[in-house]
């Protein structure tokens, strides 16, 4: 096992709700004690529904939001360590969901790509060479570089964002729903290109999405998030085929089928809404909607159990439940 590239330890983000200055203010526990690692060149898929804390987590890893507690280290250095800040900016890249707002509408594509290089000490000439080289790598025609973002299609805009993110040769790319706004055919192209780039440059990806098929295609390992906590984490095959957490079960059985013949499959539909993450929380976050919940689940928070092969599950009854897999 190689040394992890990114190490997230006991990360918490509590947003103050009211009376932000007071001592006893209420908090939204958006991310609550999350730990995981990403190895060089690997893709960790982060799945969760809205309110699971996945975007907050991404913002913290990108250094856009300071954590309430916990540490994030990239390549051995704390990302908030001022001495390594310049290196941090070069080691990480980001691609966001909305291709249209990912690019400055007031400048040409070329200028959008040139600015990060300028900031990191490239000369005009070097920048030009690198921009042309990178544009080629992401299949972006040179003639598109002098255009403005609104003159490009969504897929092309997203390619520019990817080019910008990989230009400084980062080690980790945070992809926050990069294809959710794209059509299926464009999505396929973008995903393939991302895989190609990963192979070529040995990039590690943190791939955040709510789309379970996309995450399965892209990831080496998958982390399932619910209510700001990790429910299950493990190799893609382990999580997809040998899941042990009831939330993963509900999530996977909610995915629409691939063929009409699977219409009448057994579904574990969730009822009710996600619980509020405000104030003191007791027990398992998923207990209120879990079809297998026992009284004890509502009392004590489950520990993260290792099911073998670094397959973790935060369920008191992990491995003991009968999911009637078919």
Partner 1 sequence: MKKSKLWQVARKPLFFIGFLMLAVVVIAALFAPLIAPHGYAEMNLALKFTAPCAQFPLGTDQYGRCVFSRIVYGSRIALKVGIMAVVIETGIGVTLGIIAGYYGKKLDQAIMFLTDMIWSIPPIILAMAIVLLLTPSAENVAISVALVTWAQFTKIVRVKVQSIKNLSYIQAAKVYGESDVQIILRYILPNLTSTIVILASLALPSAILSTTSMGFLSLGAQEPLPDWGMILSGGIQFIERASWISFWPGLAIVWTVLGFNLAAEGLKELLDPRMKV
Partner 2 sequence: MEEKILQVKELSVSFSGGVQAVSKVSFDLNRGETFALVGESGCGKSTTARAIMRLIRAPGRITGGEVYFEGKELLGLSEKEMTAVRGKNIGMIFQNPLDSLNPVYTSGSQVAEGLIVDKMEKGEAWALVEETFRDVKIPDAEKRVKSYPHEISGGMRQRVMIGMMLCRHPKLLIADEPTTALDVTIQAGIIELMNDLRRKYDTAVLMITHDFGIVADMADRVGVMYAGEIVELGDVFTIFDHPLHPYTRLLMKALPVITKKEGRLETIPGTVPDLSKPIQGCRFADRCPDACDACRQYSPAMVEAEPGHLCACHRVKGGEGNE
**In the complex, which residues of this chain contact partner 1 (CB under 8 A)?**
20-21, 59, 62-64, 85-86, 89-90, 92-94, 96-98, 101-104, 106, 112, 115-116, 119-120, 161, 164-165, 168
Strand order in the sheet with 27-38: 27-38, 6-16, 69-74, 77-78
What's the CA gap between 76 and 172, in Å, rounded? 13
What's the CA gap between 215 and 232, in Å, rounded? 14
Residue 279, phi-psi category: left (phi > 0), alpha (psi -120 to 50), beta (remainder): left
> Alpha helices of 27-108 — where are they, by DSSP H?
54-61, 85-91
Q: Which residues pair with 209 in a beta bridge?
A: 47
Task: Record the tokens describing residue 56, joined without a space.
Answer: 């907050």
Quick one: what does residue 89 bind among partner 1, partner 2, none, with the CB cut-off 5 to 8 Å set by partner type? partner 1
The least CB distance from residue 67 to partner 1, in Å, is 15
Q: Are 224 and 245 in contact (CB under 8 A)?
A: yes
3-state secondary structure of 184: helix
Beta-strand pair 92-95/172-176: parallel
The single residue among 216, 281, 301, 323 that binds partner 2, judged by CB under 8 A, is: 216
**Of residues 265 and 325, the one with the C-beta less far from partner 2:** 265
Quick one: what does residue 62 bind among partner 1, partner 2, none, with the CB cut-off 5 to 8 Å set by partner type? partner 1
Task: Record the tokens describing residue 26, joined without a space.
Answer: 């209420």
Does residue 278 belong to the site contacting partner 2 (CB under 8 A)?
no
**Of residues 18 and 263, the one with the C-beta less far from partner 2:** 263
Does residue 2 belong to the site contacting partner 2 (CB under 8 A)?
no
**Of residues 117 and 215, the one with the C-beta less far from partner 1:** 117
The least CB distance from residue 194 to partner 1, in Å, is 16
Quick one: what does residue 23 bind among partner 2, partner 1, none, with the CB cut-off 5 to 8 Å set by partner type? none
Q: How far apart are the first and last CA of the chain?
A: 33
The interface with partner 2 within residues 99-128 (CB under 8 A) comprises none
CB atoms within 10 A of CB 124: 9
The least CB distance from residue 212 to partner 2, in Å, is 7
The single residue among 87, 189, 305, 323 that binds partner 2, judged by CB under 8 A, is: 189
Q: Which residues bind partner 2 (CB under 8 A)?
A: 49-50, 153, 155, 183-185, 187-189, 191-192, 195, 210-214, 216-218, 236-237, 250-251, 253-263, 267, 269-273
């Amino acid at each position: 096992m190689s040394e992890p590239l990114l190490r997230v330890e006991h990360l918490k983000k509590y947003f103050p709700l009211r009376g932000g200055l007071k001592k006893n203010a209420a908090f939204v526990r958006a991310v609550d004690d999350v730990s995981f690692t990403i190895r060089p060149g690997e893709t960790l898929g982060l799945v969760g529904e809205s309110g699971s804390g996945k975007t907050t987590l991404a913002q913290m890893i990108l250094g856009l939001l300071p954590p309430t507690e916990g540490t994030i280290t990239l390549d051995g250095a704390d990302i908030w360590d001022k001495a390594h800040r310049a290196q941090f900016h070069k080691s990480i890249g980001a691609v966001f969901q909305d291709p249209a707002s990912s690019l400055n509408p007031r400048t040409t594509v070329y200028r959008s790509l040139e600015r990060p290089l300028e900031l990191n000490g490239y000369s005009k000439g070097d920048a030009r060479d690198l921009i042309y080289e990178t544009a080629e790598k992401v299949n972006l025609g040179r003639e598109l570089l002098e255009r403005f973002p609104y003159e490009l299609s969504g897929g092309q805009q997203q390619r520019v964002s990817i080019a910008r993110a990989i230009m400084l040769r980062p080690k980790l790319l945070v992809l926050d729903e990069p294809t959710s706004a794209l059509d299926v055919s464009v999505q396929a192209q973008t995903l393939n290109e991302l895989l190609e780039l990963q192979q070529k440059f040995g990039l590690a990806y943190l791939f955040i999405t709510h789309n379970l098929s996309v995450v399965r295609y892209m990831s080496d390992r998958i982390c399932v998030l619910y209510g700001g906590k990790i429910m299950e984490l493990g190799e893609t095959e382990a999580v997809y085929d040998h899941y042990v957490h009831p939330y993963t079960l509900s999530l996977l059985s909610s995915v629409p089928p691939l063929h009409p013949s699977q219409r009448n499959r057994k579904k574990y539909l969730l009822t009710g809404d996600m619980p509020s993450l405000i104030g003191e929380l007791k027990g398992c976050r998923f207990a209120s909607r879990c079809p297998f919940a026992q009284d004890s689940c509502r009392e004590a928070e489950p520990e993260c159990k290792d099911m073998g092969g670094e397959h973790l599950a935060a369920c008191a009854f992990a491995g003991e439940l009968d999911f009637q897999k078919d």
